[in-house]
Structure 1
């Protein structure tokens, strides 16, 4: 019988399992949503036991659907929502508190204090990150400071910390293995990505005992074997990477200056910058892309808060479409936006502007403006924002982007993809397997057990489904970019203080 790799994709709203064959094609999938917990405004939690139970059940379901048992699965690869923080008791395996999710803002005031104390440069130089409640470090501190007895137990070595990957490995191995991979470690704000070690100075700054932390491993190696009863035989767990890093690998962006953009609710862009740490001058994050066979690759990361979410707003907020899929047809019914620009800064402006107090703006409206012009301007805003981040990446890296590899829901929109290609003046490539995050985890696991012999072998499997090449009038595109900059300027100035005499 044929052999397979099982990828576990533990996301923010659901747990998924996907089985891949030797050609990197999907053979079986299963998915389960789980509860989102909002104890108060700005707080987001998950139940760690529900994360585990949904992930374990979809793993079993995907294999049962195919009529295979564990002996046909050569390895398990794990990819996960990053930064989400779990602290549990080493003896009982029980969490001391719910998982605090990456979106959770409860530690924002503490992060502001760290910035006021002048810690920004220290954190960036060591971790490649900005100080933000998004990352795990301050979430761990909050649990130790606010859960009764937690700090005492942590100081005695009784508690373990992990991101979701660590928690799943702990559960699959019944507490025998406490590890994370270097990509997940690089998102904690506690890990020095230059020395590739947990950083004592940062641990002291956040008052976190080192004994809680998992051992940091490569993204592709055998960490342990499953000892649970889900599978008939023991299966090696052999690949781990955070979701965006796994997608970069799944897209086979293995050379310098290769870039992928995931178009989801927001957009995440990662650019492979090679084996040297480069500190961003444009407020991008520097992160670890992966580490394989002792070799580390770094990446720049930039994110857009509102990508596909702008289409959901057209549907739910404005009511100009009934289903998200209708936006392409509506937008295609006009030849241009008639000078309308839409800056969807609903949650502030992200990279490279970083204006958290900015708000959404539509400029250039006239009596002739219709819902179709606004729909087209909304779609174009996704491409313009992507362009802004990619130009910042090019400037920081001193490298020119030759092509953009894309994945995520909005990539099904040909109109958007073509406009993206025109704006960037480079090829935009959509792969034939769009589940690039799970695929990346499968590749990393398969490499570690010899299911695939080399990265070069995997490269041969990567195929494009459609390529978009630049077209359109360069002068029109240039004017559009200039007008977008004016729209951004209008958005930024909305919150400026007015002089008294106006």
Structure 2
């Protein structure tokens, strides 16, 4: 029998689940990670700890199901969105703690943006001007962590949301890991243009983010890479899908048609509505 695996990396824990062809859960394992709170309004995670937890839950679920990695036909990744990590592609080590979506330290930077810049950002991204999103977090890390500045100059720095960090490690890390993300995660950075589904030069300039350190944006459903046989699966299997956690919940609730919506109660409360294939810009402060 063939199985598929789902790696769910959330704000407070990481979980791996294995499903059979009928959609039944045959194995799962979940572990929490630390919440690092160095200052008021600051929330950080240790990206290396998250990677360790990912390896441990994969091993735990396979053991519970009495399966080998080779029994899986593919895996997918879903993740906490907006949380940003920057790492050294030569050593594989994070260059700082990851800044979590809940973190509000970049409020002053965003308050200093001009009205024209705010208008440009909102129109191109469909998002609000808020420290919640990744762009200002990347800007803060570049400007406040000397190790990141040096790594960018030396061409060693890679940045990404947690899906990118996990994908890079699962596909080999320093041994040729793939640096990519999907459109749902990229759309939450304040750096992706909703119309082109690509990194936007004007937005990158506003946030002073060099495009060279960003992951390639891909669709949510495709084979991104194959797992490294030296990794937790012990074999090469396709990593065939990535979705931000709230969009993944939409798929899980089968909200495939325009007008269908879901609400998820987790670390926060998130309501999403399927507006179809055309961009619908809110006139009342909702995100697009």
2:282 aligned counterpart, secondary structure: coil
Question: Given the alignment of the two structures, is residue 148 of structure 1 paired with residue 139 of structure 2, yes or no?
Answer: no
| Shift, 1:156, TM fit | 4.0
Aligned residue number for residue 32 of structure 2: 33
For the residues of structure 2 that align with 1:267 and 1:185, how far apart are their CA atoms?
Answer: 21
Aligned residue number for residue 68 of structure 2: 69
Aligned residue number for residue 56 of structure 1: 55
The question of whether the paired residues in 1 share the 8 Å contact of 2:85 and 2:161 is answered with yes
The question of whether the paired residues in 2 share the 8 Å contact of 1:155 and 1:209 is answered with no
Q: Structure 2: give runs of 5+ residues left out of the alignment.
A: none
For the residues of structure 2 that align with 1:218 and 1:235, how far apart are their CA atoms?
Answer: 19
For the residues of structure 2 that align with 1:233 and 1:241, how far apart are their CA atoms?
Answer: 23
What's the CA shift string for 1:419-445, capped at 9, x where partnerless?
xxxxxxxxxxxxxxxxxxxxxxxxxxx
Aligned residue number for residue 281 of structure 2: 279
TM-score (norm 2): 0.96
Structure 1 stretches of 4+ with a deviation exceeding 6 A read none
The question of whether the paired residues in 2 share the 8 Å contact of 1:126 and 1:194 is answered with yes
Higher relative contact order, chain-length normalized (CA < 8 Å, sep 6+): 2
Aligned residue number for residue 95 of structure 1: 94
For the residues of structure 2 that align with 1:231 and 1:263, how far apart are their CA atoms?
Answer: 31
For the residues of structure 2 that align with 1:190 and 1:264, how far apart are their CA atoms?
Answer: 26
| Shift, 1:232, TM fit | 3.1
| Shift, 1:149, TM fit | 4.3
For the residues of structure 2 that align with 1:51 and 1:149, how far apart are their CA atoms?
Answer: 21
Matches within 5 A, 1:281-360: 281-286=283-288
For the residues of structure 1 that align with 2:231 and 2:256, how far apart are their CA atoms?
Answer: 37
For the residues of structure 1 that align with 2:267 and 2:209, how far apart are their CA atoms?
Answer: 33
Q: Which moved more, 1:81-90 or 1:20-29?
A: 20-29
Aligned residue number for residue 78 of structure 2: 79
Aligned residue number for residue 168 of structure 1: 166
1:151 aligned counterpart, secondary structure: helix
2:83 aligned counterpart, secondary structure: coil
119, 124, 127: which is aligned to 1:126?
Answer: 124
For the residues of structure 1 that align with 2:270 and 2:285, how far apart are their CA atoms?
Answer: 14
1:205 aligned counterpart, secondary structure: helix
Q: Structure 1: give runs of 5+ residues left out of the alignment.
A: 287-502
Aligned residue number for residue 226 of structure 1: 227
The question of whether the paired residues in 2 share the 8 Å contact of 1:4 and 1:19 is answered with yes
1:68 aligned counterpart, secondary structure: coil
Aligned residue number for residue 253 of structure 1: 255
TM-score (norm 1): 0.55
Kindly tell me: are residues 229 and 90 of structure 1, through their superposed partners in 2, closer, same or farther at Cα, counting changes over 3 Å? closer
2:195 aligned counterpart, secondary structure: coil
2:14 aligned counterpart, secondary structure: strand
130, 133, 136: which is aligned to 1:135?
Answer: 133
Aligned residue number for residue 108 of structure 2: 109
Aligned residue number for residue 203 of structure 2: 202
For the residues of structure 2 that align with 1:279 and 1:120, how far apart are their CA atoms?
Answer: 15
- Which of structures 1 and 2 has the bigger CA Rg? 1
Whichever structure has more helix as a proportion of its residues is 1
Aligned residue number for residue 10 of structure 1: 9
Question: Given the alignment of the two structures, is residue 191 of structure 1 paired with residue 192 of structure 2, yes or no?
Answer: yes
For the residues of structure 2 that align with 1:174 and 1:263, how far apart are their CA atoms?
Answer: 34
What's the CA shift string for 1:111-167, capped at 9, x where partnerless?
1112x4432221111111011111111111111100114234314432100100000
For the residues of structure 2 that align with 1:67 and 1:173, how far apart are their CA atoms?
Answer: 23
Equivalent residue pairs, number: 284
